[in-house]
Amino acid sequence: MNETAQLNVRCAADGDRPRLIRHAVDSFLQIYKIDRATRDDIIMAVGEALINAVEHAYGDEAHGSLELHAHLKDTDLEVEVKDDGRFLFRPSHEGRGFGLRIIKAIALRVEIDRTSGTTVRMLFNTRLSHEIA
């Protein structure tokens, strides 16, 4: 693929949106024949970033937006997850708090910018399913 494929989503940041956006990302990757194992890893990392944006950007009474921008060129997939809130620390619960570690374990590169809201940029390497033996 020599051209850049893009997926852009902007919506309200509520509890149900991460699941819906993960489905959109999965469909986007299927269209470009990204293998199942790679898709599953990418969906897990992107899902963690989306959930973090919903849970940590806005207080219980404030609502804002959630954006996802994905760009696929050759085998490089760059995904940005953005919110326009401000980071809120939440009390940790047993079995939780691993989102950023999961993202960093899967992505080749992770950048976090908290200048205006929070933007998480992730770079993934993809494989086309017909290349798998």
Q: 112 with 120: CB under 8 angstroms?
A: yes
Higher pLDDT, 10 or 56: 10
**Is the pLDDT reported for residue 53 higher than 80?**
yes
Nearest to 5 by CA among 37, 38, 42, 31: 31
Domain extent, residue 88, equals: 5-131
- Total count of domains within the chain: 1
Nearest to 48 by CA among 108, 101, 112: 101
CATH number of the domain bearing residue 68: 3.30.565.10
Higher pLDDT, 128 or 83: 83
DSSP one-letter code for 116 = S
Q: What is the pLDDT of residue 9?
A: 97
Higher pLDDT, 85 or 57: 85
- The mean per-residue pLDDT over the stretch 83-95 comes to 66
Higher pLDDT, 13 or 97: 13
1-23 pLDDT tens trace: 567 899 999 998 887 889 999 99
User: Helix (H, G, I), strand (E, B), or coil: what is residue 103?
Assistant: helix
Q: What is the pLDDT of residue 61?
A: 58
**Is the pLDDT reported for residue 114 higher than 70?**
yes
**Is the pLDDT reported for residue 89 higher than 70?**
no
- The mean per-residue pLDDT over the stretch 30-40 comes to 93
Give the list of residues 6+ apart from residue 79 with CB closer than 8 angstroms, or none.
25, 42, 46, 49, 68, 69, 70, 71, 121, 122, 124
Q: What is the pLDDT of residue 132?
A: 43
